[in-house]
Amino acid sequence: MQSNEKEVLLSVKDLKVIYTTDGCMVHAVNNVSFDLNKGETLGLVGETGAGKTTIAKTILRILPDPPAKVLNGQVYFEGENILQIPEAKMRKIRGNKISMIFQDPMTALNPIFVVGDQIAEVILLHENISRKEAEIKTMQILEMVGIPGERYGEYPHQFSGGMKQRVIIAMALACNPSLLLADEPTTALDVTIQAQVLELMAELKEKLNMAMIMITHDLGVVADICDKVAVVYAGEIVEVGTKEDIFDRTKHPYTVGLFGSLPSLNMTEKRLKPINGMMPDPMDLPQGCNFSPRCPYAIDACREKDIEFTEVSPGHFVRCIRAEEVK
């Protein structure tokens, strides 16, 4: 990557989000910080309920409040804290400079409008052009994601799952965003279709020089498409670094556990090494390190106080006091 591209686009600092339900507090996101440079792809990896989607929705400011509440933290996008700006201004950014692809292509489209109009709506909202021009632009975008332009007038039910996801991608890219939040964009798709969609996304990202946050639970997808990886566990980032840091120099016991849980295709041993126990209840997080109840390396010091983020090598941060001993 060239040095002039190393410009910070998005910077999330000490983000803390809670959900309140029946008087209980659920700590969905705790002290999450990370930076994303222009044109870079960050993989946000973790299991169900880790808080990945909440992080993305906070950036886009689409969390329902109540029950969700951002307690603390800043999100700097192009140098401006977008958590503080008025909603009217945010609406100009949303769908324009930052857009999002949702997980389930089956529910993200409105079934009673033709797909073309749903894409054109985004363009009309953000660009000062006529309806006719927007329609032409929509057809170009459809072609770009591999859908013939003449399918503009078809309804979502006439498209297959993979094709619907392409429509969603087209919609997200309609205004050439500089940041794309992709929330499990291929999870609902079959592998051969997933391969098509991932290839398309990588290609478009390159072409449009767009930064991307790829939310996924699939480490295979991460290896494929990401530059940087942040591993999320129980609302916290436990390890962040370049793809090489995470895959080759894994430091956090949870990340090690994730890799051990995956049946690999070139595996020789006949038994998986799962992580013991379950993810903690976010209403009742353990003292100290959230992973300590399941961690084979846990010692008393782990349970005493919150663990600091430490830099083990330039750009590779780990939230574990025994990181050096982890193998």
Partner 1 sequence: MSTILEVQNLKKYFKTPRGTLHAVDDVSFKIEKGTTLGVVGESGCGKSTLGRTILQLLDSTDGKIIFEGEDVTHADRKTLSRLRRHMQIIFQDPFSSLNPRMTVSETIMEPLIIQKIMCKKDMLKETERLMDTVGLARRLTNSYPHELDGGRRQRIGIARALALNPKFIVCDEPVSALDVSIQAQVLNLMQDLKNDRKLTYIFITHDLSVVKYISDEICVMYLGQVVEKCKADELFEKPLHPYTKALLSAIPIPDIHAKKERIILQGEITSPINPKPGCRFAARCIYANEECSQPQKLEDVSNEHYVSCHRVYEINENILNSKEESV
3-state secondary structure (DSSP) of residue 21: strand
Please report whether residue 163 would count as binding partner 1 according to CB under 8 A.
yes
Q: How many CB atoms lie within 10 A of CB 156?
A: 21
Please report whether residue 296 would count as binding partner 1 according to CB under 8 A.
no
CA distance 52 to 217: 10
Q: For the packed helices 131-144 and 161-173, what is the interaxial angle rounded to 10 degrees?
A: 130
Choice from 40, 183, 184, 224 touching partner 1 (CB under 8 A): 224
CA distance 144 to 200: 9
Choice from 153, 274, 296, 315 touching partner 1 (CB under 8 A): 274
Please report whether residue 51 would count as binding partner 1 according to CB under 8 A.
no
Written as six digits, the tokens of 118 are: 């749903």
164 vs 319 by CB, closer to partner 1: 164
Q: How far is the CB of 48 from partner 1 (least distance, A)?
A: 5
61 vs 166 by CB, closer to partner 1: 166
87 vs 269 by CB, closer to partner 1: 269
> What's the DSSP call for residue 19?
E
Choice from 88, 157, 192, 314 touching partner 1 (CB under 8 A): 192
Please report whether residue 187 would count as binding partner 1 according to CB under 8 A.
no
Please report whether residue 196 would count as binding partner 1 according to CB under 8 A.
yes
Q: Do the Cβ atoms of 172 and 99 come closer than 8 Å?
A: yes
Q: How far is the CB of 122 from partner 1 (least distance, A)?
A: 26
85 vs 202 by CB, closer to partner 1: 202
Q: How far is the CB of 124 from partner 1 (least distance, A)?
A: 31
Please report whether residue 212 would count as binding partner 1 according to CB under 8 A.
no
Choice from 11, 33, 47, 85 touching partner 1 (CB under 8 A): 47
CA distance 284 to 316: 29
> Would you mind telling me the total number of residues written for the chain in this entry?
327
Choice from 223, 283, 299, 301 touching partner 1 (CB under 8 A): 223
Which ranges in the chain belong to alpha helices (H)?
52-60, 87-93, 115-126, 131-144, 161-173, 191-208, 219-225, 243-248, 253-261, 300-304
Sheet holding 24-37, edge to edge: 24-37, 8-21, 68-77, 80-81
CA distance 231 to 215: 10
- Site track for partner 1 across 231-270, x = CB under 8 A: ------------xx--xx--------xxxxxxxxx-x--x
Choice from 63, 141, 173, 198 touching partner 1 (CB under 8 A): 198
Please report whether residue 24 would count as binding partner 1 according to CB under 8 A.
no
Q: What is the DSSP string of 153-183?
A: G--GGGS-HHHHHHHHHHHHHTT--SEEEEE
Q: Residues in the site for partner 1, rule: CB under 8 A?
A: 47-48, 160, 162-163, 190-196, 198-199, 217-224, 243-244, 247-248, 257-265, 267, 270-276, 278-279
